[in-house]
């Protein structure tokens, strides 16, 4: 197991034994580095990686070969609420005075492409550019699982830049067979027409998930959701540990949200 686990990775190791043969979906996989990371933690897993951008998809194939990931299954698809074709807005760019991404990826700007047109994204990251759009193939999570004969998904890592609710809605009845989900959510529309944090929370609560990690600032953040029935079957000591993480991160998020909002208001007033 790699050293220096991120908080959501620590949670995963509480939910699942590292020797388990998990079914993991990496949705919006970009270059496949999250898949590489999860294989280092759960080496017996089977991974399904979804990435519609051709250049990014080629990097997934290179990383599959580089790290000898025989159980990594890449698909050049965008998961959505409908099967068909869709316009996909391609991101690019590089922040000033930075040359090499810290996450070992090859590119700064290839991580923000979306099914939605950019909205306030450039206000948050002025260096981002959206110079082109392409047509991609889309599929629903439910249809994909039927085709691949997948009955249960243990964990979903979702990084789809505003299209989270579309992916979740495409799960349809399969949503009840998903044990855990990590995803990014936004409080403000970084992309035009995207679902916001409250929309995603409403959907997941309605489908009997509980949020055990809510790591937010005043703009965006990460959430980790677990199916309630799966959580209830965990060992009591594990539930106590996870509840402590929930409480601690909730307090930090409240502070971060309040501080960030105040800082932005002052910035607008004093123009610094």
Measured CA angle at 34 (ends 93, 27), to 5 deg: 85
Strand partners for 184: 222
Q: pLDDT tens, 225-248?
A: 999 999 999 999 999 999 999 998
Structure tokens at 135: 């047509």
Distance CA 184, CA 257 (A): 15
Q: pLDDT tens, 33-47?
A: 999 999 999 999 999
- Judge if pTM exceeds 0.85: yes
- Domains (range + CATH), the chain: 7-270 (3.40.50.150)
Phi (first) and psi of residue 146, to 5 degrees: -65, -45
Phi (first) and psi of residue 184, to 5 degrees: -90, 140
Q: What is the pLDDT along the chain (272 residues), one digit of tens a residue?
A: 666 899 999 999 999 999 999 999 999 999 999 999 999 999 999 999 999 999 999 999 999 999 999 999 999 999 999 999 999 999 999 988 888 888 889 898 999 999 999 999 988 889 999 999 999 999 999 999 999 999 999 999 999 999 999 999 999 999 999 999 999 999 999 999 999 999 999 999 999 999 999 998 889 999 999 999 999 999 999 999 999 999 988 888 776 666 554 445 434 433 33
Distance CA 28, CA 5 (A): 21
- Taken in order 133, 221, 186, 75, is the CA torsion positive or negative? positive
Q: Give the model's pLDDT for residue 260.
A: 55
Q: Give the model's pLDDT for residue 116.
A: 96
Do 196 and 165 contact (CB within 8 A), yes or no?
no
């Amino acid at each position: 197991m790699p050293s220096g686990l991120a908080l959501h990775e620590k949670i995963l190791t509480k939910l699942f034994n590292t020797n388990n043969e998990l079914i993991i979906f990496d949705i919006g996989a970009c270059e496949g580095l999250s898949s590489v990371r999860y294989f280092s933690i759960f080496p017996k897993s089977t991974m399904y990686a979804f990435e519609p951008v051709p250049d990014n998809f080629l990097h997934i194939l290179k990383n599959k070969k580089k790290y000898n990931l025989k159980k990594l299954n890449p698909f050049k698809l965008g998961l959505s609420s409908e099967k068909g074709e869709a316009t996909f807005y391609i991101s690019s760019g590089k922040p000033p005075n930075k040359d090499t991404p810290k996450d070992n990826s090859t590119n700064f700007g290839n991580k923000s492409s979306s099914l939605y047109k950019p909205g306030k994204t450039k206000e948050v990251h002025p260096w981002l550019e959206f110079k082109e759009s392409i047509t991609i193939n889309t599929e629903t999570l439910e249809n994909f699982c039927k085709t691949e004969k997948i009955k249960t998904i243990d964990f979903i890592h979702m990084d789809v830049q505003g299209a989270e609710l579309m992916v979740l809605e495409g799960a349809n009845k399969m949503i009840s067979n998903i044990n855990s989900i990590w995803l990014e959510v936004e409080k403000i529309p970084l992309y035009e027409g995207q679902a916001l944090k409250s929309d995603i929370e409403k959907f997941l609560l309605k489908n009997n998930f509980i949020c055990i990690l809510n790591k937010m600032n005043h703009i965006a953040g990460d959430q980790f959701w677990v199916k309630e029935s799966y959580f209830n079957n965990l060992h009591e000591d594990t539930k106590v540990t996870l509840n402590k993480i929930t409480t601690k991160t909730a307090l930090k998020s409240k502070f971060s949200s309040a501080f960030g909002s105040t800082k932005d208001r002052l910035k607008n007033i004093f123009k610094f």
